[in-house]
Structure 1
Amino acid sequence: MPTWPGSLPQKQFAGLEDKDTPAVLRTPMDTGPSTRRNRFTAVKREVTVPLILDGTDRQTFDNFFRSTLKNGTLSFDWEDPVTDSTVTFAFLGPPRWTLVAGGSTSNRLWETTLNLEIQP
């Protein structure tokens, strides 16, 4: 299983969001309250991770995403932002980058938000 590159930022991302995928199925009844039941026995979590990388780290990330993860089709191990235990992540889509500071290729600053899921 691939792992998040050690040279890239690891944790403590200001602005990180973490939410469970909706797991309750509600069924309206003819009379009385709706019934509720779990749709899944294991719930995925969706995590958005904001990143700002310099040009060198952006190249490392691009190589990891495109080559190691085959354009995001493979899962990877990384630390859970809540428990610090190692869990399996998958990309929900490719990142979209914004240039926030120019300069030489290695000194440019790039901003993105990674849309990930933590797989049960």
Structure 2
Amino acid sequence: MQKIQICIQKLENSEFFRSFLDQMQNPNMLAKFLKVLGPETKMLMVIYGIGSIESFEPPRLQLSLAILIKRKFDWIGEIQVFDPIISLMESKVLTSLGCSVLSINEQGRRQS
């Protein structure tokens, strides 16, 4: 949990994230996201194949970005995560961060 919290802070204070937010908040970009939403009020975020958030920084950065996006935009709904290598400890951390851990491998193909 500490590794993720540090990663979230590091990313939130980065030039990359400031630039990313600027792009996401651009009225044209925002309009495109809201068009995709249609009548829905929240967009589900599904992350397949994230890897080990305990062992590697890239998965922690990916998760941190997803969490920060959810915090910044009220139209982002639930974050669902799947990787067959997610450990029980990682699953608990993900759950405590407000994510749902998928137990079924959807093979990267979400069925509506």
TM-score, normalising length from structure 1? 0.27
| Structure with greater helix percent | 2
| Structure with greater strand percent | 1
Which protein has the larger Cα radius of gyration, Structure 1 or Structure 2?
A: 1
TM-score, normalising length from structure 2? 0.28
Instruction: Return the structure number with greater relative CO, CA threshold 8 A, min gap 6.
Output: 1
